[in-house]
Chain A
């Protein structure tokens, strides 16, 4: 695997981890402590992931696309 991918992969893993945290919050799963989490609606969760972080997702896709294109050359 191209080593250049590593930080991008790390960024992606961190991003996915945060998405999972958002999903567990929506489901009301208590992860760390004994304080029950305050809820979040499905609409809010989707907005945070795809609305607010839409540009970030686009950048990640662009970077992977660019990597792939360069690898072909």
Chain B
């Protein structure tokens, strides 16, 4: 298990590459694969929605999820030094990824775009109308995908949830190896981010004819800031609100001894 923040977490926070000596061909291959999948999504978006809407989705998701993750990770490191009750949260393993943007690997932003875009597209395909239904299904699909990603990733120490993250409900752990569960706020976060982002993107891009591309882009970019902080406060609030229940825990069944 990845036990804590990297010893040089703050010193290397602004480095584009954290530990050049630990980069392996497998890592590079993995990241390339995610970039290729993203390129396929962008190609599809250009053909289906046009260049502007697709780039708005790409850069919007990049900014929205990237800053949300950075805020959650860095605040978990910095704030407990000032407010001890504030829980440490999680961190990506500095030795596991190639290129970084602060505390989050670039490939994670891109993978988020890939999952969000494809999940939302599937939702659009199933429900032809009704953005709330579409966004909810997109969020649920992505959240379910993460329910396979996270338990595997924490056991590989790609990233780690800190046991003192005073989250109420931990799920998909394994008592035989000392839990390694994932806080439920992570899955709520996946749902919330994609749900809100999909609605926001659709609502703004629908105004293209009325407002024009320039105004839509400015409104979209400016509106992302309150949306971002709203989501962070919602997730942070949920984490704190559920904290007194710390210890409620649903393991993956069929574990070892």
Residue ranges of A at the interface with B (Cβ–Cβ < 8 Å): 3-4, 6-11, 13-15, 17-19, 21-22, 25, 31-33, 35, 37-44, 46-49, 52-53, 55-56, 59-60, 62-63, 66
Which residues of chain A come closer than 8 Å to B158, judged between CB atoms?
32
Total cross-chain contacts (CB, 8 A): 137
Which residues of chain A come closer than 8 Å to B114, judged between CB atoms?
10, 14
Given contacts A3-B47, A33-B22, contact A11 B115 (CB under 8 A): yes
| In the complex, residue of chain A having the shortest beta-carbon distance to the beta carbon of B171 | A52
In angstroms, Cα B145 to Cα A62, docked, is: 17
In angstroms, Cα B142 to Cα A15, docked, is: 10
In angstroms, Cα B156 to Cα A33, docked, is: 8
Interface range, B side: 35 or more
Cβ-defined contact, A22 with B148, below 8 A: yes
Interface residues of B in 70-97 (CB under 8 A from A): 93, 95-96
In angstroms, Cα B125 to Cα A44, docked, is: 32
Cβ-defined contact, B144 with A4, below 8 A: no
Which residues of chain B come closer than 8 Å to A66, judged between CB atoms?
125-126
Given contacts A38-B180, A52-B147, contact A47 B253 (CB under 8 A): yes
Cβ-defined contact, B156 with A11, below 8 A: no
Residue ranges of B at the interface with A (Cβ–Cβ < 8 Å): 1-2, 22, 24, 26-27, 30, 33, 37, 40-41, 43-44, 47-48, 93, 95-96, 111, 114-115, 117-119, 121-122, 125-126, 141, 144-145, 147-149, 151-153, 155-158, 172, 174, 177, 180, 252-256
Given contacts A7-B41, A47-B254, A59-B141, contact A37 B157 (CB under 8 A): yes
Most buried by A among B24, B111, B252: B252
- Find B122's partner among A33, A38, A41, A59 (CB 8 Å cutoff): A59
Binding site secondary structure of chain A = helix
Cβ-defined contact, B156 with A21, below 8 A: yes
In angstroms, Cα B26 to Cα A31, docked, is: 7
Given contacts A3-B44, A6-B44, A63-B122, contact A48 B95 (CB under 8 A): no
Binding site secondary structure of chain B = helix
| In the complex, residue of chain B having the shortest beta-carbon distance to the beta carbon of A52 | B147
Known: A48-B147, A49-B148. 7 other contacts (CB 8 A): A6-B40, A7-B122, A33-B24, A35-B156, A44-B252, A48-B252, A53-B145
| In the complex, residue of chain A having the shortest beta-carbon distance to the beta carbon of B137 | A59
Cβ-defined contact, B122 with A43, below 8 A: no
Cβ-defined contact, A37 with B145, below 8 A: no
B177 to chain A, nearest CB (A): 5
Which residues of chain A come closer than 8 Å to B33, judged between CB atoms?
17
A4 to chain B, nearest CB (A): 7
B50 to chain A, nearest CB (A): 14
